[in-house]
């Protein structure tokens, strides 16, 4: 029985280390994509990826908090647009991806 407990403990340590490593990688989405390319299919059934993703990408903004400022390239690719430039002037709607 002692051998089984050691094996179970070692398996639990590996599982927790893998989960912690995935959460750390999930904080960097570009790296996460590179890592996920190499994850074998059966592992997808064992590790709770969805819950880990929600944990890693939860963010810290609460309702009513101001949006963090950032710059995006303009459609002409010659200039950039700052979110802070619109603060207090007019509402801003951000659309990521296709809306058609």
Give the start-end residues of each E strand in 19-79: 71-73
**pLDDT 10s per residue in the chain (100 long)?**
699 999 999 999 999 998 888 888 888 878 888 888 888 888 888 888 888 888 887 878 888 888 888 888 888 889 998 888 888 888 888 777 776 6
Helix (H) or strand (E) holding 25: helix 2-26
pLDDT value for 47: 85
Torsion angles phi and psi, residue 71, rounded to 5: -115, 140
pTM of this structure? 0.55
In the DSSP assignment, the letter for residue 90 is S
Could you tell me how far CA 65 lies from the centroid of its own chain?
Answer: 20
| Distant-in-sequence, close-in-space partners of 67: CB < 8 Å, separation ≥ 6 | 61, 83
Tokens representing 79 are: 């200039």
pLDDT value for 11: 93
Q: How many Å is the maximal CA-CA distance in the chain?
A: 69
pLDDT value for 99: 63
Domain assignments of the chain as residue spans, ordered by start: 2-56
């Amino acid at each position: 029985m002692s051998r089984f407990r050691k094996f179970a403990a070692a398996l639990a340590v590996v599982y927790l280390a893998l989960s912690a490593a995935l959460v750390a990688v999930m904080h960097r989405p570009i790296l996460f994509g590179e890592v996920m390319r190499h994850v074998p299919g059966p592992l997808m059934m064992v590790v709770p990826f969805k819950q880990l993703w929600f944990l890693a990408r939860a963010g810290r903004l609460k309702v009513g908090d101001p949006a963090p400022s950032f710059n995006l390239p303009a459609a002409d690719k010659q200039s950039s647009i700052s979110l802070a430039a619109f603060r207090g002037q007019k509402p801003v709607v951000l659309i990521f991806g296709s809306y058609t």
